[in-house]
Amino acid sequence: MNLFDKDGRLDLSRRLFLRSTGGGLLGSGLGLIGPAFAQGGGGSMPGLPPSRPTGRPFPEMEQETPVEPGRRLGWAVVGLGKFALNQILPSFGESRCSKLVALVSGNRQKAEQVASRYGVDTRDLYDYQTFDRIADNPEVDVVYVILPNALHAEYTVRAFKAGKHVFCEKPMAVTVEECETMISAGREAGRKLMVAYRAQFEPHNVEAIRKVRDGEIGALRLVTSDHGRILDPKDPADQWRMVKSLAGGGSRYDIGIYSLQAARYLTGEEPVEAFGQIANTKDDPRFREVEDRVAFQLRFPSGAVANLSSSYSTASVKRIQAFGEKGSIILDPATEYEGNKLALQTEKGRQEVKVKVKEQSQFAAEMDHFSQSVMNNHDPKTPGEEGLRDILIMQAIYQSACEGRPVSMEATGSTR
């Protein structure tokens, strides 16, 4: 029996027939759809869709569409640790221009398990010895280095030698010389380098920067930022952080870098003077080789100052505040993976700022930014030079703490 008339609309007489004859699921189901559909919908009105199945125009897009799979850049992730497995690999699922195609790990069993879950072919697995063979893998465009800090430089340089672009975790490296070598290696290879400063892609931080630039708190006078957590010797991810030859330093390099970055991206300036103090709790085995707490101040050319800190022995804090002549901005928490909060304090009082958070995480956003920089041959937002500046400033802070006096940044050549 045909239930539809010649225009494709439900033939009511037949529907009634089905109901009267106990026409089962089909009849009762149609009854639930409602009168508009059952009576032909807007099909008879000009401009409205017909009731029969039909194609419709492209909807207004709220999200960018992904680029065609064949045009997405292939990424190899080096080091399958806590951050790579919990944050980065899942973020490829939200990516629009980047796809995971290869893995590099010293633990073959783990690499195979991860590869099977993410659809990476076992032919595209490497270890630290076979890494250079990545040069023969045309699927790999970008190498993402997520190793302990002191290994960033070596794997960046080897990736450039293999002809790949490099996306490197923060801190870029542990010495100024290493950063400079990485930058030159990229230039020689004609390949791009970006440091993974996710906070610069995090919507609350982006909005805070916009508010400061747009003068919503007046002239910026002071930035404060504190990043602290408890370093846990039982956590494998924290074990290399206690070893100077792998971490380069303590809380300063690992999380103090978020406080430093905040001062730089909120002021939009480079510091001209640094003063640091370092404190370790006596006899704490965690801090035999690396520093625990660092308090540091920076002075900027405009006269703005920053009061910043990092700690490995205080309860979790990830806070950034910017104080201007007309008000202040509070990001608390500021640099979580998700759930950050932004507030604006003015003479009208304190007001929480609702920030539109896109479907894409800050990790997918920064990876896609780099893929687009490569595809369109743009400079990335946070190139190697940005990472180098942070290491220069970190070293000036360390020097200041050792010498017990402020260090002029012009003398260390760190101004833009």
Which of residues 146 and 304 has its CB atom nearest to ligand NDP in the complex?
146
Give Cβ neighbours of residue 347 (< 8 Å, ≥ 6 apart). Answer: 326, 327
Which of residues 112 and 216 has its CB atom nearest to ligand NDP in the complex?
112
Distance of CA 40 to the CA centre of its chain: 49
Beta-strand runs (E) in 214-291: 220-230, 273-279
Which of residues 207 and 238 has its CB atom nearest to ligand NDP in the complex?
238
Strands 193-196, 349-353: pairing is: unpaired
Q: What is the binding site for ligand NDP (CB under 6 A)?
A: 79-84, 105-107, 146-149, 169-170, 196, 198, 236-237, 240, 246, 254
Which of residues 198 and 211 has its CB atom nearest to ligand NDP in the complex?
198
Q: How far apart are CA 132 and CA 411, in angstroms?
A: 39
Distance of CA 250 to the CA centre of its chain: 22
Give Cβ neighbours of residue 415 (< 8 Å, ≥ 6 apart). Answer: 270, 272, 409
Rounded least distance, CB 187 to ligand NDP, Å? 23
Whose CB is nearest to ligand NDP?
A: 81
Rounded least distance, CB 365 to ligand NDP, Å? 13
Q: Taking the CA atoms of 159, 161, 163 and 168 in sequence, report the sign of the dihedral they define.
A: positive
Which of residues 170 and 192 has its CB atom nearest to ligand NDP in the complex?
170
Rounded least distance, CB 170 to ligand NDP, Å? 5
Of the listed 126, 144, 253, 258, which one is catalytic?
Answer: 258
Please confirm, yes or no, whether 258 is among the known catalytic residues: yes
Nearest Cα residue to 165 out of 409, 408, 370:
370
Please confirm, yes or no, whether 170 is among the known catalytic residues: yes
Rounded least distance, CB 149 to ligand NDP, Å? 5
Of the listed 170, 192, 211, 318, which one is catalytic?
Answer: 170
Q: How far apart are CA 289 and CA 275, in angstroms?
A: 22
Rounded least distance, CB 406 to ligand NDP, Å? 28
**Residue positions annotated with a catalytic role:** 170, 258
